[in-house]
Amino acid sequence: MVSAYAPGKAILFGEHAVVYGHPAVAVAISKGVQVSLSGSDSWTVGNRPLCPNRHPHLNWLVERNNLTDRPMSIKISSELFPAAGQGSSAALSVAAQLALAEFSGLSTDTVDAAITAHQAEAYAQFGRASPTDTATSSLGGCVVVSNNLSGTADTIFRASLETPEGVMEWDIGTVDLTYDDMPHIVLGHSGAPSQTGKMVSMVAELISENQEKKQDLDFIGELTLMGLVALRSGAWEAVGMTMDVCHEKLRSLGLSTPVLETLIEAVRPHSLGAKLTGSGGGGCMMALTYNPERVAQTIELSGGRAIITPMHCDGARVLKS
């Protein structure tokens, strides 16, 4: 048997804008997805046949790795809320790619896994997906994605994708965050699903009809650069304030929900900053805080489900038994 683990992610700044080449900053969280493979007579996922509609990422990865004729049984065990803005499908794609590669003697390099998993995500998201979730899950730590990193982070690799808007290219880099006084992140799940493909298509439609909304995305790009400067200098209050403004712009794009607003308002007195994270329309909010237990309790008392995670965590890996 072969297993691999990949963490979920939280986007600090830049969701949606990054799909159009603006920068985004994300960190790997302490919960993730484990994929285990063992030999079998037919391709199965959790004892059911591998179905392209139910598992488009997995089916795409099996075909991409030319493994259709080498059937395996796939077991998935996830600590992440599904469809909740925690990057569960990216973590699944990354862990599955690493496990498939280990099983078949292919490269288990995390950059290779990030590139292949990004293509799988894009396939499942109707052709539009930035490499943010897959790169963060693969590399771990704090990841910056942009069409031009220009010195903001150390470049690790480039990703490109044929999208309905043309060929998009991104540089992917990492930022070293080693400070003694790092706050925690608390994620609060609203209980409603967040469908990334649908939300990304909704934003695409909105900006094609309304130039002002396009400016909201441009502004998120500028905020992200400001937030990155604050992050690199450990100016946590400024990081939190930038998160707050980012949330205002995401809300103006119609991506928040009444439950997300309730959770965000409830945690503000105990947080440096709070915003929705991921594609929105449901899913999770996140808070940056020095008082994680208090924030988690507030989220639970307001009807959400909380996860406390350090500022950043390690990336994907093959698990040796």
Cα–Cα distance list, 279 to 61, 83, 199, 257 (Å): 23, 9, 6, 12
Q: Which stretch binds ligand MEV (CB under 6 A): 10-18, 34-42, 102-110, 227-235?
A: 10-18
**Considering beta carbons, is residue 132 or 174 the nearer one to ligand MEV?**
132
Residues of this chain, 265-294, that bind ligand MEV according to CB under 6 A: 278-279
**Considering beta carbons, is residue 18 or 117 the nearer one to ligand MEV?**
18
If one asks whether residue 132 binds ligand MEV (CB under 6 A), the answer comes out as yes
Give the per-residue contact string, 53-92, with ligand MEV (x = CB under 6 A; - = no).
Answer: --------------------------------x-x-----
**Considering beta carbons, is residue 23 or 183 the nearer one to ligand MEV?**
23
Distance (Å, whole) CA 126 – CA 133: 16
3-state DSSP assignment of residue 114: helix
State the DSSP string of 72-97.
EEEEEEE-SPTTSSS-HHHHHHHHHH
Tokens 């500028």: give the residue.
222
Tokens of residue 64, six digits? 């991409």
Nearest approach, Cβ of 158 to ligand MEV (angstroms)? 16
If one asks whether residue 16 binds ligand MEV (CB under 6 A), the answer comes out as yes
Q: Which stretch binds ligand MEV (CB under 6 A): 16-24, 107-115, 219-227, 241-249?
A: 16-24
Residues of this chain, 87-126, that bind ligand MEV according to CB under 6 A: 87
Instruction: Please give the torsion angle defined by the CA atoms of residues 193, 221, 210 and 285, in that order, rounded to the nearest 10 degrees.
Output: 20
Give me the half-sphere count of Cα atoms (radius 13 Å) on the Cβ side of residue 186: 29
Dihedral sign for Cα 227, 228, 229, 231, please.
Answer: positive
If one asks whether residue 200 binds ligand MEV (CB under 6 A), the answer comes out as yes
Q: Residue type for 78, please?
A: S
**Considering beta carbons, is residue 50 or 139 the nearer one to ligand MEV?**
139
If one asks whether residue 130 binds ligand MEV (CB under 6 A), the answer comes out as yes
**Residues engaged in binding ligand MEV (CB under 6 A):** 11, 15-16, 18-19, 85, 87, 129-130, 132-133, 196, 200, 278-279
